Amino acid sequence: MNPAGDIPDNQAFVSYTPASATYTVTVPEGWAQSSSGAATTFTDKLNAARFEEAGSTTAPTVESATSTIVARLATDQPGFTLTDVTSVTRSAGDAVLIRYEQDAPKNAVTSSTGREAVEEYLFWKSGTLVTVTLTSPVGADNVDPWREITDSFSWR
């Protein structure tokens, strides 16, 4: 049996382009979509893929992400524990990757709280920053689906 939150290997993906049409990305087919401001989130059971677009005059670096974004996350996210901040290369180019764990929202039925593993990618081009945040339970093996999403990200 797979751990809670594992995305099946046969998961189908579909293309998503936000109203701004500045980028396109593939997301798991059949996941619920919700939007709030400049952010769109796709969820299914214990997993989430969130995309948020913002203006930014400079590209993020490992150093700038560590000093600003990590500091904010440490304050905003309950149980925040930083794993690492690195530079990665994806199909769309270089990105900054922030990996961390946080407390999951309280379960409405059991009142228990688990832990979530989070990968936050910062893609930047020509004054536009897109933050891709992928969340799943700690221990879920979602390396391949998360790679599918982040490698499919492309600027338009």
What is the C-alpha separation between 6 and 55, in angstroms, rounded?
33
- Residue 99: per-residue pLDDT: 98
- Residue 109: per-residue pLDDT: 83
How do residues 79-89 score in pLDDT, each as one tens digit? 999 999 999 99
How do residues 59-73 score in pLDDT, each as one tens digit? 999 999 999 999 999
- Residue 2: per-residue pLDDT: 63
Q: Report, as ranges of residue numbers, the positions in the chain whose pLDDT lies below 70.
A: 1-3
Nearest-5° angle of CA 144, CA 150, CA 156?
145
- Residue 113: per-residue pLDDT: 83
- Residue 1: per-residue pLDDT: 55
Q: Which own/partner pairs from 26-34 qualify as long-range (CB within 8 Å, at least 24 positions apart)?
A: 26/148, 26/149, 26/152, 27/149, 28/145
- Residue 103: per-residue pLDDT: 96
- Residue 111: per-residue pLDDT: 81
